[in-house]
Amino acid sequence: MRESIKVKTNDYNFKFRVSSLIIKNNKVLLVDMDDSGFLCLPGGHVELGETTEEAVKRELLEETRKEVRIENYLGVVENYFINKYNKKMHEISFYYLMNFIDDDFDEVDFTLIENDKGHNIKLDFKWVDINNLDNFDIRPSFLRKIINNKLEFNHLIFNELEK
């Protein structure tokens, strides 16, 4: 088993992640992890020795139990924020536009339990109409812009710590 790329210090936690944007019939697939109360894009940590493309495919297979294909690389985001444990976070995440290989995957909400290195995580997946994104707590907050545009953005920096 390879190690995820994460670093913890007294001041900051660092994570190297991948995120997937899956859109079907004007709905985007979002997930609430362990009843967090907010939605985010499916994805997870990159492991040492793994490319971001390998990581995003692996994470989606682990989380949805479905094979995916990458349609387009969207960009990378450097994100600085306070997490739910009140820790400063520095996160670098690669974003990919993706689709399920099995194209008959319906836009029906579903719940799965993922065993993530010995920890069970409840994943509540929701297909949200792109026109209704403002009715949901989606994090990080800049995701609305990415979801609505579906465009390559190359490199973005969001620093919520400077507010």
- Residue by residue, DSSP assigns 51-90 as -HHHHHHHHHHHHHSS-EEEEEEEEEEEEEEE-TTS-EEE
The average pLDDT across 110-122 equals 81
| Lowest mean pLDDT across 15-19, 38-42, 69-73, 109-113 | 109-113
Q: Taking Cα atoms as reference points, which of 143, 162, 139 lies closest to residue 38? A: 139
pLDDT exceeds cutoff 70 at 18: yes
Kind of pairing between the strands at 68-82 and 154-159: parallel
Residue 139: per-residue pLDDT: 86
Angle of CA points 77, 78, 79, to nearest 5°: 105
pLDDT exceeds cutoff 80 at 11: yes
Rg of the Cα atoms in the chain: 15
Could you tell me the maximum CA-CA distance found in the chain, to the nearest angstrom? 47
Q: 107, 114, 160, 162: which one is catalytic?
A: 107
Residue 115: per-residue pLDDT: 78
The average pLDDT across 30-58 equals 93
Instruction: Give percent above pLDDT 70 in the chain.
Output: 94
83 or 71, greater pLDDT:
71
pLDDT exceeds cutoff 90 at 146: no
Which residues, including other chains, have CB under 8 Å from residue 143's CB and lie 6 or more apart?
40, 41
Q: Taking Cα atoms as reference points, which of 25, 19, 27, 32 lies closest to residue 110? A: 32
50 part of the active site = no
Residue 123: per-residue pLDDT: 92
The architecture in CATH of the region 6-101+109-157 reads: Alpha-Beta Complex (3.90)
Instruction: Read off the pTM.
Output: 0.88
